[in-house]
Amino acid sequence: MKNYNHTKIPSAIKKAGAGKEKKVKEYNHLKIEHKWQKVWEDKKLYEVKNGTKGKTFVGLIEFPYPSGAGLHVGHIRSNTAMDIITRKRRMEGFNVLYPIGWDAFGLPTENYAIKMGIQPQKITKTNTDVFRKQLKSIGFGFDWSREINTTDPGYYKWTQWIFLQMYKKGLAYKAKTSINWCPSCKIGLANEEVVAGECERCGTETTKKVKEQWMLAITKYADRLDKDLDKVNYLEKIKIQQRNWIGKSEGSEISFKIITDKIFSSGPQVNSPEWLGKDILGNNFVKVFTTRADTIFGATYVVLAPEHPIITNYKLLITNWKEVEAYIKQVKDKKDIERMAEDKEKTGVELKGIKAINPATGGEVSVWIADYVLATYGTGAVMAVPAHDERDFEFAKKYNLEIKEVISGGNILEKSFTDDGILMNSGKYNDLISEDARSKITEFVGGKIVTKYKLRDWVFSRQRYWGEPIPMIHCDKCGIVPVPEKDLPVLLPKVKSYKPTDSGESPLAIISKWVNTTCPTCGGKAKRETDTMPNWAGSSWYYLRYTDPNNKKELAGKKALRYWMKNGVDWYNGGMEHTTLHLLYSRFWHKFLYDLKVVPTSEPYMKRTSHGMILALGGVKMSKSIGNTVDPKDIVNIYGADTLRIYEMFIGPFDQTVSWNTESIIGSRRFIEKVWRLGLKVSEKEAKKNNQNSSRFIPEGPYTDKNFDYSSSLQTLLHKTIKKIGEDIESMSYNTAISSMMVLVNEMEKAESIEEKDFKMFLQILAPFAPHITEEIWQSLKEKKSIHKSIWPKWDKKKIIDDIIKIAVQVNGKVRAEITVGRDTEEEEVKKMAQKDKNIASWVENKEIKRIIYVKGRIINIVV
């Protein structure tokens, strides 16, 4: 791959970039950009007050994680996009809040701290300082007076406070779950630190370790999280991803009786009440969850998740226990994703010695355990209907199990038939359609209709240092006691080593001074919770804090929240990679806060859009190790912030992944320079006009045709462009917005002269994209106020209508000619003109015209 040195200054801009004072005023981006950034800051142009009269608008970007790598060009892409929207809103008269902060807790900082022995606090300070400086150099309209940081005790006090409220409402609870464990390093690992089943640091194969952890009961909100998606304006694909993640499905819970060899060899009576009492283990049935109760007559075996608790209860009765035990052990260390990813080859083991009874047929079926059944979904057990389920079909083929067809319409010898259809081989339910059969059969077998969610509760504990301490105290006498609200925040203490302990606990566990405390209830000896919160905690509510960042009594004042958040955040843009976790978690927290009457809306974000990533040249990820990263600082120095902004918006469709190509930036720079030269031309003309009182400029150049009114044609284009830019910004079609501004600029160049008022309108629509150069030219044209506080221009309806329209003429769908007609020409007239056309005549002659299709103002198709 070509390795382009992006720090090399292209000869095209050397002259201007050097900033020599010449007779002709050169475009010196560094001077202009520094100048206006300082002016805006001094005048507090982007700072807003709570309570100002008028409409409000809150534009939100995902606040960055201040990594040591510095600002990525990807940050600039998404920030510029929202910067453009908020600047437009400001010009439309809204009181605009465009805030910024730092999502600064997290693993990379902690790992760096461990490696270098530097305090995470210090690293965070260094990194945020770099990020702040870099962001400011791009000219974003952030309100820096509201900057927040999740690692600031004044901030995480409220993160902890929310957790306490959740605990009070029973949404925070403790449960045993497993964590990744490296037996060699003796530390718990994040999923990311486990690469192909091995510890990222030492290469040892990882295992799982069961730990008691804090959980948040997000599943209690599953239904509302699903239903309320109807209320918000998210991109459709985002809604779909959220819905699929929540995974709501209506189905049936049906019990299958378990019988053992012992019992049925002595002559069991299926369905006999006596038999029920005979099972000494008390586990005489297994519940399955199915969305296809209509296929139950075809259920030829039952499959349990290997973790299913019922299995160990039957230990003594299962005749191949050794084999079963070995299989369970083998499965245990795999992640769900790996279990399902094992392409095609499904594995499983039969539980010999026990059987289940199909409640519909009354027949005996075998019981298996297999890794394709997940303990965490449904009931952890399925009835297998190989004829009508793909996975069951594969499994049945492999282990030679019966495949019984109960829905007609497929060819089950070849593959499973998974559609709904008409029942067969199903006793008295034959000939019913699936939909009706589901409820009837469920009732018949004594099952019940239930709603299940794929969504699982949120594992909220981390055995790490660099996170918010969970504000809980363990007392021998009183049990788990929450830290009283008045004692918040529970501060992160300074430690010597940030390394997790070899017992699997957080580094906080070894600071006895901090751990040992007194019980708030009884005053006796007690210990603090040493687990910390995940990174998601601080980012689940940060947007609220921007409304009132320094409040010491509440997470944000009621008045401030009502002022800014009466609709929630108006527009939130972020990465597609956050659509399932962060977005769902913060919606959950927001709904909880709504129930507490802390926030005025039930949804945090009115509108959510997403951006694509920026990859390096060749479509690979930018990474330090490959050496293909791009430092925005270099681009700003060489080309300027305005050029960088234009380039990043022009690079490709905003919602799609794009590749960075430094060679192409020059195109954006040329565009900016053309604007600059036009600006000079307009201001020179202004100067002349003032001196000589000269009359209106008469255009020269290519448009000397007497009938061609160039200035009116340019105005048509200008007004069309104003309309298009407005629409394109709203639909985030920045790349086409810029291309149409390029078209306009090219035309204005040809015109040799432009009316000042027209040029100013153009500057205004360019201003959100390139705020510095437009401000410079604007104020050089004797404007006193900032262009960013000017009124967004209105396009004129009368000016955007073309009088003459070109219509393509097709014969049998192929374009053969083009005719020009007046705007109001009648259909019949157009048809006649088309047939008379020279080119068309030769195609049509001696042929029978079957049909003529006319699409007004576009196309005419003659079918022969």
Q: Does 474 bind RNA (CB under 7 A)?
A: no
CB of 842 to RNA, least distance (A): 7
Q: Does 335 bind RNA (CB under 7 A)?
A: yes
CB of 322 to RNA, least distance (A): 29
Q: Does 656 bind RNA (CB under 7 A)?
A: yes
Can you tell me the distance from the alpha carbon of 205 to that of 333, in angstroms, rounded to the nearest whole number?
A: 10
Strand order in the sheet with 804-811: 814-822, 804-811, 859-863, 851-855
Phi, then psi, of 355 in degrees rounded to 5: -135, 165
Tell which one of 208, 287, 456, 681 touches RNA (CB under 7 A). 456
Q: Which residues pair with 57 in a beta bridge?
A: 96
Q: Could you tell me if 504 and 209 are in contact, meaning their C-beta atoms sit under 8 angstroms apart?
A: yes
In this complex, which beta carbon is closest to RNA, that of residue 341 or of residue 413? 341
Q: Does 344 bind RNA (CB under 7 A)?
A: yes
Q: Does 818 bind RNA (CB under 7 A)?
A: yes
Site for RNA in 151-180 (CB under 7 A): 177, 179-180
Can you tell me the distance from the alpha carbon of 131 to that of 149, in angstroms, rounded to the nearest whole number?
A: 13
Tell which one of 79, 213, 300, 361 touches RNA (CB under 7 A). 213
In this complex, which beta carbon is closest to RNA, that of residue 65 or of residue 327? 65
CB of 20 to RNA, least distance (A): 13
* Non-local CB neighbours of 617 within 8 Å, separated by 6+ positions: 1, 2, 4, 628, 659, 660, 661, 662
DSSP, res 220:
G
CA angle (179, 173, 249) in 5-degree steps: 80
Tell which one of 637, 683, 735, 825 touches RNA (CB under 7 A). 735
> Which of these segments, 21-29, 157-165, 591-599, 744-752, binds RNA (CB under 7 A)?
744-752
Peptide bond into 489 cis (omega under 30): yes
Tell which one of 205, 690, 812, 826 touches RNA (CB under 7 A). 812
Tell which one of 248, 454, 689, 831 touches RNA (CB under 7 A). 454
Q: Does 506 bind RNA (CB under 7 A)?
A: no
CB of 613 to RNA, least distance (A): 6
CB of 616 to RNA, least distance (A): 12
Q: Does 581 bind RNA (CB under 7 A)?
A: yes
In this complex, which beta carbon is closest to RNA, that of residue 197 or of residue 813? 813
CB of 470 to RNA, least distance (A): 12
Q: Could you tell me if 487 and 494 are in contact, meaning their C-beta atoms sit under 8 angstroms apart?
A: no
In this complex, which beta carbon is closest to RNA, that of residue 18 or of residue 240? 240
Q: Does 539 bind RNA (CB under 7 A)?
A: yes
How many residues sit in the footprint of RNA (CB under 7 A)?
102
Structure tokens given for 368:
């298996």
Burial (0-12, 13-18, 19+ Cβ within 10 Å), 814: exposed
Tell which one of 486, 706, 814, 838 touches RNA (CB under 7 A). 814
Query: What's the one-letter identity of residue 202?
Result: C
Q: Is 306 helix (H, G, I), strand (E, B) or coil?
A: coil
Q: Does 759 bind RNA (CB under 7 A)?
A: no
In this complex, which beta carbon is closest to RNA, that of residue 355 or of residue 591? 591
Site for RNA in 345-404 (CB under 7 A): none
CB of 581 to RNA, least distance (A): 5
Q: Which of 470, 654, 634, 636 is nearest to 575 (CA)?
A: 654
Query: What's the one-letter identity of residue 256?
Result: F
CB of 740 to RNA, least distance (A): 8
CB of 100 to RNA, least distance (A): 15
**Other Cβ atoms closer than 10 A to 842:** 11
In this complex, which beta carbon is closest to RNA, that of residue 238 or of residue 328? 238
> Which of these segments, 36-44, 252-260, 460-468, 685-693, binds RNA (CB under 7 A)?
460-468
Can you tell me the distance from the alpha carbon of 110 to that of 120, in angstroms, rounded to the nearest whole number?
A: 6
Q: Does 188 bind RNA (CB under 7 A)?
A: yes
Q: Does 623 bind RNA (CB under 7 A)?
A: no
Intra-chain end-to-end CA distance of the chain, in Å = 53
Structure tokens given for 507:
């580094």
Can you tell me the distance from the alpha carbon of 369 to that of 308, in angstroms, rounded to the nearest whole number?
A: 9
DSSP, res 468:
P
Site for RNA in 102-141 (CB under 7 A): 103, 105-108
What residue ranges in 337-395 does DSSP mark as E strands? 348-357, 364-370, 381-384
Tell which one of 292, 355, 462, 720 touches RNA (CB under 7 A). 462
Q: Does 217 bind RNA (CB under 7 A)?
A: no
Site for RNA in 594-613 (CB under 7 A): 613
Q: Which residues pair with 234 in a beta bridge?
A: 608
Q: Does 45 bind RNA (CB under 7 A)?
A: no
In this complex, which beta carbon is closest to RNA, that of residue 365 or of residue 370? 370
Q: Does 190 bind RNA (CB under 7 A)?
A: yes
CB of 77 to RNA, least distance (A): 12
Tell which one of 455, 488, 732, 766 touches RNA (CB under 7 A). 455
The crossing angle, in degrees rounded to 10, of helices 11-18 and 29-42 is 50
Site for RNA in 661-690 (CB under 7 A): 661, 663-664, 666-668, 670-671, 673-674
Tokens 């509201």 belong to residue: 146
Can you tell me the distance from the alpha carbon of 841 to that of 829, in angstroms, rounded to the nearest whole number?
A: 16
In this complex, which beta carbon is closest to RNA, that of residue 447 or of residue 574? 574
Q: Is 635 helix (H, G, I), strand (E, B) or coil?
A: helix
Q: Which residues pair with 105 in a beta bridge?
A: none
Which residue stretches of 693-798 are H helix?
710-730, 734-751, 756-766, 771-780
Can you tell me the distance from the alpha carbon of 22 to that of 278, in angstroms, rounded to the nearest whole number?
A: 103
Q: Does 577 bind RNA (CB under 7 A)?
A: yes
Can you tell me the distance from the alpha carbon of 802 to that of 180, in angstroms, rounded to the nearest whole number?
A: 67
Can you tell me the distance from the alpha carbon of 452 to that of 442, in angstroms, rounded to the nearest whole number?
A: 16
> Which of these segments, 151-159, 474-482, 710-718, 851-859, binds RNA (CB under 7 A)?
851-859
In this complex, which beta carbon is closest to RNA, that of residue 205 or of residue 663? 663
Cα atoms in the Cβ-side hemisphere of radius 13 Å centred on 307: 16
422-423 and 407-408 beta bridge pairing: antiparallel
In this complex, which beta carbon is closest to RNA, that of residue 67 or of residue 780? 67
301-304 and 364-370 beta bridge pairing: parallel
CB of 239 to RNA, least distance (A): 9
Q: Does 192 bind RNA (CB under 7 A)?
A: yes
The crossing angle, in degrees rounded to 10, of helices 771-780 and 756-766 is 160
Can you tell me the distance from the alpha carbon of 855 to that of 859, in angstroms, rounded to the nearest whole number?
A: 5
Residues present in the chain in total: 864
Can you tell me the distance from the alpha carbon of 336 to that of 373, in angstroms, rounded to the nearest whole number?
A: 10
Q: Does 73 bind RNA (CB under 7 A)?
A: no
CB of 149 to RNA, least distance (A): 12
In this complex, which beta carbon is closest to RNA, that of residue 325 or of residue 752? 752
Can you tell me the distance from the alpha carbon of 450 to that of 456, in angstroms, rounded to the nearest whole number?
A: 17
In this complex, which beta carbon is closest to RNA, that of residue 184 or of residue 191? 191
Q: Does 205 bind RNA (CB under 7 A)?
A: no
In this complex, which beta carbon is closest to RNA, that of residue 432 or of residue 743? 743
Q: Does 418 bind RNA (CB under 7 A)?
A: no
Tell which one of 95, 128, 252, 461 touches RNA (CB under 7 A). 461
Q: Does 858 bind RNA (CB under 7 A)?
A: yes
Tell which one of 46, 57, 65, 314 touches RNA (CB under 7 A). 65
Q: Does 465 bind RNA (CB under 7 A)?
A: no
Phi, then psi, of 112 in degrees rounded to 5: -65, -40
Q: Does 855 bind RNA (CB under 7 A)?
A: yes
**What is the x/- site pattern for RNA, positions 2-21, by CB under 7 A?**
--------xxx-xx------
**Other Cβ atoms closer than 10 A to 516:** 11
